[in-house]
Amino acid sequence: MTLFHKIFSVQFLTSLVLLFSVFITLQISTARHFEEIENMIEKDMVTTLSDTLCLDFERHGNWNHFRRSPQSFVHLMENLMAKKEFFKVLPPPKAPEPRNDNGPFPAPVKPGPLAMPDRERSTPRFGPPHRRLTLFDENKVKIAGAFVRPEDKDSLKISPILCNGKPVGYIGFRKMDRYPDAFKFSFKNRLNDLYMVGIILFILTGTASFYLSRLILSPVGKLTQGTHALTRFKFATRINVKTNDELGRLADDFNRMAATLERYETMRKQWVVDISHELRTPLSILKGELEALQDGIRPFDRAHVDSLHSEVVYLETLVNDLHLLSAADTDALSVIMEPLKPVVLLRSVIDTFAMRLEQAQLSTDIRLKEDHLTVNADGARLKQVFSNIFENNFQYTGKPGTITVWDKIQDNTLIIGVQDTGPGVPPQSLEKIFDRLYRVDPSRKRSLKGSGLGLSICKAIINAHDGDISATLTKEGGLLITIHLPLIEP
């Protein structure tokens, strides 16, 4: 099952469950609501009847007038219904069902002149309120009203008729065991309307879920196509997803990843070209020198041997540097960490270069003061970093010139700066001077014996020490190399 089908199924099933839950809840709550309304109306009705019958009892002093004429009780109830609005809210009447049994409830009624005729003993199960009312005396003997069967005991509610706090009789009210057909038909129509609306909403929800699932998964499809393109080395691939959600951010990350891969692919190709160039030049010199010796054009003397040796040394240095950078790329760069004082190590490197700098008319301005600080570092690798930086200063600083070295502490980090008096590098070259085999001079002349790997090696070594190295231009037009090394926690 595809992701589209999974998302669509989840949304569709969720909508279905919610819809049926709403249907069931509406049906139950509606029926319960009507039942509560009926109970409230019947309660008010019984209270009103009790008050009315109490006044009638006080006026006659007994219930004999209802015993003599049960129909007068019916007329009293009908008159009361005509005056009270809440009686009209109850369901409409239904024709009474004839009953042949004439047993009393809850006390027996003796046959005699007060016994109700058969037509009066009919039991209207679902008629208007007065046809479901029964009047009992204080002994709970039936006086007038609807006929009560013994099996109607559970559905009969009996309320006392209180006059001056004393029960003088009882009102029996039998609830409907089902709604009348007209009321049930109206209620069913309302539910059918709700069902129709629900079905329409269900169809609309399914349609919306379908298109919403396609809309949500559209970026996923584009990401899939872009990923397949990257596997075919099409690193210029970009995807256009105009959303602000997680998929939009994922698409942006994909584009950044593709741009990074494209940049690294360009660097890789340039790396191969640069290495080929760097290796071809000394090899061509060696080949020319050796052929000249073989042909006897040049004598086999010490000067020519030294020239060949210098090219071999250059090749060895280049290969070693390339090996070091390759090891750094694979996290296989060998570093032996131990506590040491980098400022003291830096001073020793400066002393090593002092004679050469002096001969090249380059003075030094030493402003180091944090000799006591300690970091975890590989002394040989760190010395290589300082040496490469001073070698660059020696090669590229204009003569006469000055090299300034300073240090400071910031956020438990030792910062070392090496600054020259220029000439600096073009601003567009600042981000590239740490790239491998990069030279500011586009002609790539080897007159200065530089391979363009020195600062790349510095960056690899400093990164292996969890530090950072950067280059900026100074106001005086020189170049400032800044090194950040984390200090050992005290």
- Tens-of-pLDDT digits for all 490 residues of the chain? 565 666 667 777 777 777 777 777 777 777 777 677 777 777 777 788 888 888 888 888 888 888 888 888 888 877 777 766 555 444 444 444 444 444 444 444 443 333 333 433 433 333 455 567 888 888 888 888 876 666 666 667 788 888 888 888 888 877 655 555 545 556 666 667 777 877 787 788 777 777 777 777 777 778 888 888 888 888 888 888 777 777 788 888 888 999 888 888 887 787 777 777 777 877 887 888 888 888 888 888 888 788 888 888 878 877 887 778 777 776 777 788 999 999 999 999 999 998 988 888 999 999 999 899 999 999 988 998 999 899 888 888 888 999 999 999 998 999 999 999 878 788 877 878 887 777 665 444 444 455 678 888 889 899 989 999 999 998 888 899 999 999 987 6
Contacts of 327 (CB under 8 A, 6+ apart): 333, 334
- Please tell me the distance from the alpha carbon of residue 323 to that of residue 194, in angstroms, as a whole number: 78
Task: Output the DSSP codes for 256-270.
Answer: HHHHHHHHHHHHHHH
**End-to-end CA, the chain:** 58
Q: How many contiguous H segments (helices) and E segments (strands) does the chain have?
A: 9, 11
pLDDT at 123: 37
- Please tell me the distance from the alpha carbon of residue 474 to that of residue 479, in angstroms, as a whole number: 6
pLDDT at 314: 78
Strand-pairing partners, residue 482, are 417, 470
- Alpha helices per DSSP H over 246-378: 246-294, 302-329, 342-359
pLDDT at 101: 42
- Please tell me the distance from the alpha carbon of residue 56 to that of residue 123, in angstroms, as a whole number: 25
pLDDT at 433: 84
**Number of Cα atoms under 13 Å in the Cβ half of residue 308:** 15
Percentages (nearest 5) of helix, strand, coil residues in the chain? 55, 15, 30
pLDDT at 25: 76
Q: Residue 97 has what DSSP assignment?
A: B
* CB neighbours of residue 367 within 10 Å: 10
**Number of Cα atoms under 13 Å in the Cβ half of residue 425:** 22
Task: Output the DSSP codes for 370-396.
Answer: -TT--EEE-HHHHHHHHHHHHHHHHHH
- Please tell me the distance from the alpha carbon of residue 404 to that of residue 421, in angstroms, as a whole number: 9
- Please tell me the distance from the alpha carbon of residue 480 to that of residue 218, in angstroms, as a whole number: 49
- Please tell me the distance from the alpha carbon of residue 172 to that of residue 160, in angstroms, as a whole number: 9
pLDDT at 198: 73
